[in-house]
Amino acid sequence: FSTRKDDWRHYDWSKITTIVLFRDWDVELMCHAHSKNVRVVLAGIFPVANLTNASQRKSWIASMLQKAKDSYADGINVDVEEPIAKDTLERQLLVTLVNDTRNAFLSQNKFAQVTFDVAWSPECVDRRCYDAVGLAEVTDFLVVMSYDEQGQIFRPQAC
């Protein structure tokens, strides 16, 4: 999750296993987290429009891998916040992207962690019809965005 710069100083570190940084890399946070046996991973946001472009996927993975190496990150959390329809090539290619990301990260660090953010329900919330089972098979774990139950794309509907 994303935090303000110094919020981490107040965390109960006994309840945390991983921190995803959705802001600038924080070396002090990383070192403190590591002292508490907590992983710190990059946030990786990939545009759905580029899923069908193999060279874009490969370039993004290489870029994220280099960023992880340069910052000593423990892995990556892939976060796609865009609609993908069921039974589409993009749905399959998202799993391919995450699997290729995992393979690349593990080739450089056998302890790298790769995770993916999913909606609170697998039922195409906000038209995000991601293959949750396929994504679970190619990640260390899924991050369920349970804080996001209202959705982001559509206005709230009357009951």
Q: Which residues are catalytic?
A: 81
The number of residues making up the chain comes to 159
CA–CA separation, 79 and 77 (whole Å): 6
CA–CA separation, 64 and 52 (whole Å): 18
Q: Looking at this protein, which amino acid is placed at residue 113? A: Q
Among 46, 108, 47, smallest CA distance to 74 is for 108
Q: State whether the Cα torsion 26-40-101-92 is positive or negative.
A: negative
- Whether the CB-CB separation of 98 and 135 falls below 8 Å is answered with yes
First to last CA, the chain: 30
Among 95, 92, 136, smallest CA distance to 115 is for 136
> Which helix (DSSP H) or strand (DSSP E) does residue 56 occupy?
helix 54-71
